[in-house]
Amino acid sequence: MLFEKIAALMPGGEVKQGCFVGVRGGRIDYIGDTPPSQEYGERYDGRGKLLLPGFVNAHCHVPMVLLRGYAEDLPLDRWLNDKIFPAEEKLSGEAVYWGSFFGIAEMIRGGVTSFTEMYFFCEDIARAVLESGIKCNLSRGITCFDDSSLSELPSFSEARDLFERYHNSGDGRLYIDMCIHAEYTSTPKVVREMAEYAKSIGARMHIHLSETKAEHEGCRHRHGKTPAEYFASLGVFDVPCTAAHCVWVEEGDMDILAEKGVFVAHCPTSNLKLGSGIGPVARMLEKGVNVALGTDGAASNNSLDIFSEMKLAAILQKGAGCNPELMPVLDVLRMATLDGARSQGRQGSGEIKVGARADLAVVDLESIGMTPLHHVPSGLVYSAGSRDVVLTMCDGKVLYKDGEFLTIDIELVKSKVREFSKIFG
């Protein structure tokens, strides 16, 4: 495909006007002010539109769209134990498959080209990923409440088999990560063994970390360490790791995260909705911590919209810090694109440059919410929404265009989601 006369958000935040961007073989292989000499097949009229890197949702539980609005106005412990865990006991692989498809459609509609997922019934999620055309880092959540070894856990057998069968499948669109759900849902033995296993196979890790004050202080009471110190001592951070939330991390924790190159998946809407608190993201960035953006699941967010997360992430830090200079828009956009791709180990994604993967979104710059537009990056963070996305492309393949899903039968998926949502009563 050749994007013609389109504005493009370039690395560093420059907006290049009226340019030509050619996509071939899943990559960007031409950017110029004049038409290329070679043919690219389909041409896309980019006048009045902006080409930007596709967004990355760095922490999600995508099948939980089935539980959108099911558990409201509860703190995390009651939200989980009284509502979510009992509801999840009723799930089947088929329900997870259709729920995943629907959540993926919502993300594609909003310009998301990749997401990092932690859940169960992972083969069914993998099927939805591969059939939809999106990218995903998928992990089977591991929990353990007794003295079992990692190898004795059925969930680990699932994770191991998932890696062996699906890692790097779909021409590299699907990665399989290893996972420990959280400190409070596991044991030191299992955590240490999982860290060793992940290192032995070259896998990334995905965990929840310091999401609530109770979790953070409980870990200190149980182990004499903060969650960050605990996971670091057991080797989890010796492999590339995404740590979701990090709301209650302390100064020393941030030093550990920065030193170990851990990626924090900041999920501001979920953290606020569950009353968990406000993560010190501006301070993390000052200390050199890698930060990406996630939505968490739709059960605790009600949306999988990265635009909403960008705006909230920016204004939260400004308000909490009483400093409007915190969280500049280019930093927020980087968190939602390039740093999200880096958190997944997807080098060569997240930027518009020759040779990069063609994971792209197009936004209508002439929509009501974007008019007038004095500064494009600010418009993306503070004014735009999923409604303004008119095209989503992953590895050079168009998944969504002008209101139409090209890889998903959206009416069928919606009907299936309505059907399976009835199991919760």
Query: How many CB atoms neighbour CB 277 within 10 A?
Result: 17
Ranges of each domain in the chain:
2-53+352-405, 55-343
Q: What φ, ψ does residue 284 adopt, rounded to 5°?
A: -60, -45
The region of weakest confidence among 41-45, 60-64, 75-79, 148-152 is: 75-79
Does residue 373 have a pLDDT over 90?
yes
Name 240's bridge partners.
none
Q: What is the tens place of the pLDDT at every residue in 235-290? A: 999 999 999 999 999 999 999 999 999 999 999 999 999 999 999 999 999 999 99
Is the pLDDT assigned to residue 393 strictly greater than 90? Answer: yes
Q: What percent of the chain has pLDDT over 70?
A: 100
Phi then psi for 391, rounded to 5 degrees? Answer: -160, 140
Q: How much is the pLDDT for 351? A: 97
Model confidence at 174: pLDDT above 80: yes
Distances (CA, A) of 320 to 188, 307, 324, 326, 327: 35, 20, 10, 10, 11
Q: Which residues contact 309 (CB under 8 A, 6 or more apart)?
A: 266, 267, 268, 269, 293, 294, 295, 336
Cα→Cα distances 194→148, 189, 262, 362, Å: 13, 9, 17, 40
Give the pTM: 0.97
pLDDT tier, 76 (very low <50, low <70, confident <90, very high otherwise): confident
Mean of pLDDT values over 105-131: 98
Q: For residues 114 and 340, is the Cβ–Cβ distance under 8 A?
A: yes
Q: Domain 2-53+352-405 maps to which CATH number in 3.30.420.10, 2.40.50.100, 2.30.40.10, 1.10.10.10?
A: 2.30.40.10
pLDDT averaged over every residue in the chain: 97
pLDDT per position as a tens digit, 178-187: 999 999 999 9
Peptide bond into 11 cis (omega under 30): no
Q: Span 142-170, mean pLDDT?
A: 98
Give the model's pLDDT for residue 331.
Answer: 97
In this predicted structure, what is the pLDDT of residue 75?
86
Q: Is the pLDDT of residue 356 over 80?
A: yes
Identity of residue 221:
H
Nearest to 405 by CA among 79, 147, 57, 106: 106
pLDDT at 280: 98
Categorize the per-residue pLDDT at 142 as very low, low, confident or very high, splitting at 50, 70 and 90.
Answer: very high
Question: Pick from 107, 115, 103, 101: which is nearest to 64 by CA?
Answer: 103
Assess whether the region 2-53+352-405 and the region 55-343 belong to the same CATH fold. Answer: no
Cβ neighbours around 257 below 10 Å, total: 27
Contacts of 106 (CB under 8 A, 6+ apart): 65, 298, 303, 304, 305
Region 104-116: what's the mean pLDDT? 98
CA distance 268 to 247: 9
Q: Domain 55-343: what homologous superfamily? A: Metal-dependent hydrolases (3.20.20.140)
Poorest-confidence range of 37-51, 70-84, 162-176? 70-84
Q: Are 318 and 324 in contact (CB under 8 A)?
A: yes
